[in-house]
Structure 1
Amino acid sequence: MRRTRGRRARTSRDVVLTSLNTALLLDAAVGSRFCTAVFGVLEPHEEEGFTVTVATGGHPPAYHLRGQGAVEAVQPKGGMLIGAIAGAHFASHSIHLAPGEGLLLYTDGLTEVRTLGGEMIGEEGLTRFLSARTASVSAAAVIGDTVDFLDAMPHGAGDDVALLALSVPLADAADGLSATATAYTIAPAGETPVTDFRLTAQHTDGDLALAHVAGELDIDTAPHLRAQALALIEQGHRHLILDLGAVTFCDSSGFNALVGIFRCAKTVEGTLVLAAVPDRLERLLNLTGLDTLLPVHPTAAHALVAHTRSQDTATA
C-alpha cells in the first residue's frame, strides 16, 4: 500500500501493474512465471479517514471491514493475470476507509485452506468468518483472529498465506490523520491430504487431442497435468480440449498449470479449450480475465463440434 496525493496517485497504480506485466514477459523464464497482485494507494479523504484505491491483476478480493459484522468484498472487475499475456489490462476500485474501519488483503492460500471434510473454505467461508467476528477491526486484531482461524483448521495451510490488514483509528484515539498496518506470513503445513489425479487422452485425431481430467488439481498433481498435456502437444496435437467434468478440487497450482499449457499451445499456433469447467475454476477464469482467452464449453461434445466448425471455417 502507498500513501500519496493528486494525479500521481491516479496514474501510478496502472503503471506499476503494467510495468510488472512487461517485466515478467521479458524475463528469460517466460512461460513459467506469472502472478496475481494487488496495489493500493491511500489518499486523505475530504471528510475523514482515507480514500483507498485498489488496483488488481487477477487477485482475490480484499475485504472492507466496517465493524459489527459488516463486511464487503472489494473486487475491481476486469483485472487480468500478470505476466501471462502481453497487453493485459488492469482494473481499480476506490472505497472510503473511515475511522473505525479496516481492510484485509490476502493471498489465495487463505481461501484454499480445507475443512475437516476436505473442502476449501473459499471466499464464502472467509466472508462468514469475517462477518461473525465481534472484536475490533484494528489491523492487529484482524490478523490475530485470522491466524487463529487458520490454526483451528484440521490440515492447516496447504499453501503459503500472506496477510495484510489496514485500519484507521477512531478520531478520539488517533493523533491526527493516521492509518495502521499489520502483516503476517504463514508457511504451508507439513502434512496435507493425499490427492488423486488422472489424465486420459480419449480422442486423438491429427493435430487435435481430447483428454479427460479427473481427481484433484493441487500443488502435488498440477505438475503432472502440465507434463502430460505438454507431451500431447509435443506429439503434434497442438489443439487441446481438456474435459474437467471429473475434477473435484482445483487450487491456484492447478489453475497455473492450465495457464502454462495455454501459453505452450500458443507458441505452436495451437489452442487450449476447456469443457465442463467446475464452478470454482470458472470463477478463477473470470477473476483473472482469462475467460476472454480460453474458450469454455458445457461438455466435451460441444467443444468437439465447435472445433470442427472452426476448422471448416478456416479452410473454406
Structure 2
Amino acid sequence: MHPETPAAASYADELVAGLSATPRRLSPKWFYDEAGSALFDRICTLEAYYPTRTETALLARHADEIAAALGPDAEIVEPGAGSATKVRVLLRAMQRGGWRPAGYLPIDISGAHLLAAADALRADLADALPTLPVRPLTADFLQPLQLPAPLADGRRVGFYPGGSIGNFEPGEAVALLQRFRDWIGPGGGLLIGVDRIKDPARLHAAYNDPEGVTAAFNLNLWARANREADADFDLSAWHHAAFYSPAHQRIEMHLVSRRAQTVHVAGHAFTFAEGDGVHTENSCKYTVPGFQALAARAGWQPERVWSDPDELFSVHWLTA
C-alpha cells in the first residue's frame, strides 16, 4: 500500500497562504504533479541544462568508487526520486562490484509518476537485480514522515542528486540534511549532487531555455491551480522570469504578471499590478568547501567529492 498523493486541498491551502504573504512565494515542491514531473524530465534533456548530463557523467565515470563508498547490503533511500534515472547507474555499479544493494526506497510527491518510474526501474534491472526490493513511497518528504522499517541489517544510505539541495536557503538546507541524517541512522551515508558557482551567463541560459520548457514548467503551477484549486489564472497574462542573484549566489525563478489583473483561488481574490511577481524557486550554488561546511553544520562528515573537469557540478559522499 502507498499513501495517496498529498490532497489537492493542500495545494489550494498553500497557494492561498503563499499569495497572501509578503513577498508572495510558493514552495517548489508543488511543481511536481504528473504534468510538472513530465516537463522536468524534458528539461533534463535540454542542451542548455547542464546539471543532469554533467552529474550523470560523473556518476558513470566514478561509479565503481562510489559503489565501494556506499558498501554492501545497503538500502538506498532517494527523496524526490522523480523518474529514478540516475540511481540505475549506482545500482548496476553496486551489483557489478559485488556491493549488492539490499533495496531501493524512492520517495516522491507525485504518486502516479513515482509508481510508473518504479515499474520501469524493475523492468530495466530485471537482468542484473531481478529480486531487488523496490518500495516506492508517495509522500511529501518535507513534512514529518515515518519511513518503512529498514531491510536487511538496517543499514541505509541516502541519494539526493540533481542539485536539489539548492532549492533550499542555507538554514533550510541544514535542517533538511539533519532530517536525512535521522532517516539514515548510524553507519550510513549520503550521496548528494551539488551545483557549483559558475559564470552567471551559463546559469541564465540553463534556466531560460529557448525551447520554453522551463517557462512551461513554471507556468504549470498556475495550470495546476486551475485544475486543483478552483482558480482562474490566465496563463497568457504571466511570464517566466529567472535570473542569478550574486548577493545570494542563487538562481531565482518568478512568475510575473504582464498586466493589472485579479485572480481568484479557492474563493479568495488576489490583485496584481503589471510587473508584480510570485517567487517560485531558488537554486543556490556552492563552492566545494562551502557545501562541505554546510553539511558539517548538519552533523555530516564530508568524505569524498567528485567534480567534472569544467567544475560545473560536484557529487559529495557524506557519512553520518
TM over 0.5: no
| TM-score of the aligned structures, taking structure 2 as reference length | 0.25
User: Greater relative contact order: 1 or 2 (C-alpha under 8 angstroms, separation 6 or more)?
Assistant: 2
| TM-score of the aligned structures, taking structure 1 as reference length | 0.25
Larger Rg: 1
Structure richer in helix, relative to its length: 2
Structure richer in strand, relative to its length: 1
